[in-house]
Amino acid sequence: MEIKPVAYFRAPLSEKFGLPRQAGLAESLRGTVVLEPEFRSPEALRGLEDFDYLWLIWEFHLNRETSGDSLTVRPPRLGGNERVGVFASRAPYRPNRLGLSSVRIESVDAAKGEIHVLGADLADGTPIYDIKPYVAYADSHPGVRSGFVDGREWKPLKVVLPREFFPYFSPASVDGLFEILAQDPRPQYQDDPERIYGLLFEGRNVKFRVADGVLTVVAVELTA
């Protein structure tokens, strides 16, 4: 079977660094699913406005490495040091590089072939291979076990974004930026309070450092 993208994703994040590690962690983060021209018909999205969530099946297109022969990965939730089987994880380094995300529908513009969503963990330009509505009776399983995730609490960081930097971003995107930073974009094996990191968001380089559970933005620079 050969598959081709039915849509591409548009988002303020263009690199892997800073992407939420799961859909829904940055609930206010906005993005847009843009159908390819051959599917850009109101008929293709008819009825989608009656759903609150949808599933996106997409490609980890920013991966330069392949999964190779390794059948184990090191999930960030385990600190990046412990290994589990690739099929017992949601790591991006997979045999077929396919991702699966449940995102909230903000609005549907059927005439333009666009679906505006919240909480996605996709980078700008991500190819999307299928779109399916989320159906609660079949897709929701409250109270089930979640493996190693159950035993590792993830504590968000406190984020300090000085108000002098607010004008660099669109008002609708500031909450999403806060949520991304609170999830701690750094590799989990790095904990240098003096190190300054850079995250590309809406064409700006957001520079920050982390110390004692507090992430402080120290500069925002325009990128070329």
**pLDDT (tens digit per residue) in 147-189:** 888 877 778 999 999 999 999 999 999 999 999 999 999 987 7
pLDDT at 73 over 90: no
Q: What is the DSSP string of 162-187?
A: -GGGGGGS-GGGHHHHHHHHHT--S-
Answer for the pair 35, 78: CB distance below 8 angstroms, yes or no. no
Return the biggest CA–CA distance within the chain. 54
In 3D, which of 145, 137, 186 has the Cα closest to residue 19?
186
Which of 11-20, 52-61, 87-96 is predicted with the least confidence, judged by mean pLDDT? 87-96
Q: Which residues contact 196 (CB under 8 A, 6 or more apart)?
A: 207, 208, 209, 218
Domain extent listing, the chain: 7-61+97-139, 158-222
CA–CA separation, 170 vs 193, rounded Å?
29
What's the number of CA atoms in the CB half-sphere (13 Å) around residue 86?
15
* Residue 171 in tokens: 């008002």
Look up the CATH number of domain 7-61+97-139: 2.40.30.70
Given pLDDT bands bounded at 50, 70 and 90, which one contains residue 66? low
Give me the chain's average pLDDT, please.
92
Which of 7-16, 26-35, 65-74, 201-210 is predicted with the least confidence, judged by mean pLDDT? 65-74
pTM of the model: 0.91
Given pLDDT bands bounded at 50, 70 and 90, which one contains residue 98? very high
CA–CA separation, 16 vs 32, rounded Å?
17
